[in-house]
Structure 1
Amino acid sequence: MLINTIILFLRDALPVFWVMSLLLAQGNSLRKNPRWIFWTVPFGLILAALLMANFAALSNSLMGAGLEWFTFLLHGLIYALVLVHLFLFRSALNHYWQLSATALGVLTISINGSYFLVFLDTYWRTAQHYWSLITGTILGFGVCFSAGILIYLLNYALLQRGRPLIWVLLLLFWSTGQLIFTFNLLAQANIISSTSPIWNTGDWITDSSELGMVLNTLMGYEATPTLLQIIFYLLCILLPLLLFSITERKSGAKHKTGVSE
C-alpha cells in the first residue's frame, strides 16, 4: 500500500506540481502577482471533483469510449493552451499571461486531479493498514513538492538570466508526453488500431516503475512506443520549436532594420 500510494502521486499528482512550478517560475520572473494560483487551485479541484463524480456517465457514453475520448480531447486542449501560452510569451503579450496560465492550471488540475481522487478514494475505502496509506501520502506529497521546488528554482534562475529554452522545452515535453500517452487509452477502447511497438526498453526502465513515472511526466517516456506515437511526438515538439525559431529570426531582422534606419 505504501509503494502504491507513492506511485499514485508520481503518476497523477507530479504532472500538476510540475506544470504549476513552471508557471510560477515564469510568472515570478515576469514580476506577475502570484494571486492567480489562489483561485486556479480551488477551481481546478472543484472541476476534478465534478469529473470524478461523473466518471461513470462518461465511461458509458459514446459506446463505452466516452472517458477515453474526453481524456484525449482535454489533453489536446491542454497542449493547444501550452502553444498559446508560449506564443504569448514569445510575443511579449504579458498582459494576457494570467488568463492563459490560469486556464492551463485549471485544466491540468481537473484532469489529473480527477484520476488522482478516484484512485485515492479507492485506496482509502479498501485500505487495511491505514498507517501505510498515511505514510505513503506524506512521502508522495513530499516527493512531488520537492520536485516542484527544484524545477521552480532551476527555471526561475534561467529565466532571470534570459535563457528560456529549458523552460520552453520542459513545458513542451510535458504537454506532448501527456497527450501522446492518451493514445494508449484510445487503443484500449479500439478507437485507434493497436500496432506493434518500435522498441522495448522495459528491461531497463518499466512504465510502472518510479523512474518510469518521473520520466513520463518529464518527457512522455514510454517503454513500448508505437510508430504513431513517435511521429506525433516529434511533430508536436519540433513544429512549435521551428515556428518559434522563425518568428524569432523575423523579429530580430525587423529590429536590426529599425536600428539601421
Structure 2
Amino acid sequence: MLLTSVIIILREVLEAALLLSILLAMSRFLNLRVRWFWASLAMGVAGSILYGANLVAISNAFDGVGQELLNAGLQIAIYLLLLLIAALLIANRRRGAYKVPLLQGAMLLAVALAVLREGSEIYIYLMAFRHQPDLLPGVMAGALLGAGIGFSVGALFYYLLRGLPQQYTLLTACVLLTLVAGGMTLQAAQLLIQADWLPAQPPLWDSSVLVAEHSVVGQLLYALVGYEATPTLVEFLVYIASVSVMVLLLGWMRYASSKKNSPVA
C-alpha cells in the first residue's frame, strides 16, 4: 500500500502544486500582493472536504455520472481561468498595473478549484481506509511521501521561474500555463468519455513502453501536459484545439499590447 499511496497522492498533488507555483512566481514577478494565495488554499481545502462528504449524492446525480461531469466542469473552468490569467499577465507586463484585482481574483479561483479537484480525490482516498487500521499507517506514510515529492517539484518550478532572467520569465510561464491548460481539457475529455458524453474510441498509440503513466516521470508529465499513454482521437483533437486557442490568444494579446505601447509617429 505504501507505493500505491505514493503514486496516487503524487498524481493529485503535482497538478495543483505546479499550477500554484507558476501563479505564485508570476505574482512575485509582477510585484503583486499574494494574499489570494492563502485564501485560495483555504477555499480549496474547505471545498474538497465538502465535496468528499457529499460524494454519494454527487455520484448519483445525472444518472450516476455526476462525479465525472462535476470534475470535467471543474477542469474546463480552470482552463477558462488560465486563458484569462495568461492574457492579463501579458497585459500587466506590457502596460503596467492593468486590471490587477481581476487577475488576482482569477488566480484565486483557479488555484481554489485545482485544490478542490485534487484535494477531494485525496480526501476520498484516505477516508476509504479510516476503518482499516492495519492498512492505514502504510497509506498515510505513502500519502506523506507522495505529497512531499509533489510539493518539492512545485517548489522547484517556483524557484526555476524566479531564477530566470526577466526577459524569459513571462514567456516560460506562459508556455507552462499553456501546457497545463491543455492537460486540463484533456482530462475533461477523458471524464466526459467515461460519462458517455463523448464517444469512446480505440487509442491512436500506446507510449507506455517509453514512459509508463504510473512512473514518477509519467506523473510529472501528467501534471504538466496531461500525459496519456493511450490517447484517443477525440482526446488528441481536444488537446490540440485547447492549446491552439491559448497560443492564439497569447499571440494576439502580445501584438495588441505592443501596438498600444508603440510610439505614435
The verdict on a shared fold, with TM-score over 0.5 as the criterion, is yes
In the aligned structure 1, how far is the partner of 2:218 from the partner of 2:66?
Answer: 27
**Unaligned segments of structure 1, at least 5 residues:** none
Structure 2 SS opposite 1:62: helix
Pairing 1:1-261 to 2, within 5 Å after superposition = 1-92=1-92, 93-96=98-101, 97-126=103-132, 128-158=134-164, 160-258=166-264, 261=265
Q: What percentage of residue pairs aligned between the two structures are identical?
A: 28
Q: Deviations over 1:154-196 (max 9, x none)?
A: 1122373453122112112112213212322222232222101
Give the TM-score normalised by structure 1. Answer: 0.92
Q: Deviations over 1:193-216 (max 9, x none)?
A: 210111111222222333222210
In the aligned structure 1, how far is the partner of 2:194 from the partner of 2:140?
Answer: 33
Structure 1 SS opposite 2:32: coil
In the aligned structure 1, how far is the partner of 2:184 from the partner of 2:252?
Answer: 26
Contact 2:189–2:238, Cα closer than 8 Å, also in 1: no
Worse overlay, 79-88 or 127-136:
127-136
Q: Which portions of structure 1, spanning 4 or more consecutive aligned residues, are displaced by more than 4 angstroms?
A: none
Cα deviation, residue 57, structure 1 = 0.8
In angstroms, what is the RMSD of aligned CA positions?
1.8
Give the TM-score normalised by structure 2. Answer: 0.90
Structure 2 SS opposite 1:234: helix
**Unaligned segments of structure 2, at least 5 residues:** 93-97
Cα deviation, residue 123, structure 1 = 3.4
Contact 1:48–1:110, Cα closer than 8 Å, also in 2: yes
Contact 1:195–1:226, Cα closer than 8 Å, also in 2: yes
Tell me which amino acid in the other structure corresponds to 1:78: I
Contact 1:6–1:136, Cα closer than 8 Å, also in 2: yes
* Distance change >3 Å, CA 112–CA 128, structure 1 → 2: same
Tell me which amino acid in the other structure corresponds to 2:222: N
Aligned residues: 259
